[in-house]
Amino acid sequence: MSIFKAYDIRGLVPQELDEDLAWRIGRAAADFFGARRFMVGSDDRTSRDMLFQALTRGLRDQGVEVVDIGKVSTPILYYTLAEQGFDAGVMITASHNPGRYNGFKFCRKGAQPVPQEMLQEIRALVERNEFKPAPVRGGISSMDPFPAYRRFLEKTSTLDRSYKVVVDAGNAVCGLFLLDLYRDTRLDIVPMYFESDPTFPNHEPNPLEEENTADLRRRVVAEGADLGVALDGDGDRIMFIDETGRQLAGDITTLLIALGLQEAGAGNFDVVVDCRSSRAVEEILKEHGLSCTKSRVGHTFIKGLMRANDSLCGGELSGHYYFKANSFTENTDLALFTLLRMLDKRRCKLSELVSPLLRYVQSGEINSRVESVEDTLQRLRTSFGDGRQSTIDGLTVEYDTWWFNVRPSNTEPLLRLNLEASTRAEMETRRDHVLSVIRNS
């Protein structure tokens, strides 16, 4: 079953994920988690109703009480699940994928993630399909998560002045509720693509790709806005645009969030970042008395390290930002208001916050298809044997003025290169050299 990915269950509907399979996944999840109460939320795709009905029927057949919180963002589901003490939960979503996809993101008690090995155990239960119905079928009820979540946000959303923010909801679920969610804040929201449309007619709901933020970047400048934000399909990723129309890299945003929390009185704490993050992140965190822990890419690894270290925040280049305040899970609302509070305190523009942090030049992520991932990694280990090597995720090699990380795709024979150097000229030279080794050219 190719729909069982590294971090979630996702595939084409109905070709790969149909009603019967969703029903069996519900039964398997009920048995695996042993949950009495199961929270279910969803984004707003065409296949939502079919999958919701099939999944919850499977859960209820196994005696689980289902609580439907409706169409929400994934961070709202995480907050509500942990705050209400549910045994487990699931978000029906395909995240940033095109509209013909859908799937399930499961989480455990306390909004803890479900790692790949647990997903494979659920997969095995689905494939065996040997379920015994519960003697008493579970019921289903609904719950409005927004009043409690709005009170939660009030603790961080107080600002001294108003800010004009262009928000690109990407025709996805957040457009259904953001204006209401932010109604009592000092945000002057300029909405873009708030109309829900699961065909995503304007662009795919993946803000990491700059072609998907092109309209937003132009609109921020045209509106004279303080900043812009782009959300993905289920609202657990956010990318920021400064007032000049420049898109902020995820690692720099993570750094800003950490500094913002410290400025707000958090003291010294640990920050978890993915291993592709700029060298500047660790340098500047340490200059401010903060510790930095590097992690493998992926939310299960980030969240696990954050819990182990009691880290206050964490982040990835992909636009996922994690907060202890949200049970060590993603929260795009907290990310937004943390940056706005920094602007409030410093009375400056977002570009002015960012500029001092851009110490190095990055290549961006470059994919290369290879015949053998392991053979290519070994070739890199040998070719750059004089560098300081780490295998946290793939291969990282460090030199005094430059470094690179190469990590394999979870699903394809691809290697992903991220490289950084002190100058653009050196970055381009080193990038081309590493790529020549990867591609054996």
pLDDT tens digits along 111-167: 999 999 999 999 999 999 999 989 999 999 999 999 999 999 999 999 999 999 999
pLDDT tens, position by position, 229-248: 999 999 999 999 999 999 99
Give 441's pLDDT tier (boundaries 50, 70, 90): confident
**Backbone φ and ψ of 108, nearest 5°:** -95, -175
Residue 346 lies in a domain: yes
CATH code at position 319? 3.40.120.10
Same domain, 42 and 134: yes
C-alpha 257/C-alpha 356 separation (Å) is 15
Same domain, 112 and 185: no
Q: What SS3 state is found at 144?
A: coil
State the catalytic residues: 95
CATH code at position 389? 3.30.310.50
Average pLDDT of the chain, as a whole number? 96
Same domain, 140 and 26: yes
Which helix (H) or strand (E) is 293 found in, with range?
Answer: strand 291-295
Total residue count of the chain as it appears in this document: 441
Q: How many domains does the chain have?
A: 4
pLDDT surpasses 80 at 1: no
Residue 25 lies in a domain: yes
Give the residue numbers spanning the domain of 198.
148-241
Give Cα separations from 394 to 372, 380, 414 (angstroms).
Answer: 14, 11, 12
Look at residue 410 in the predicted model and tell me its pLDDT: 76
Residue 430 lies in a domain: yes
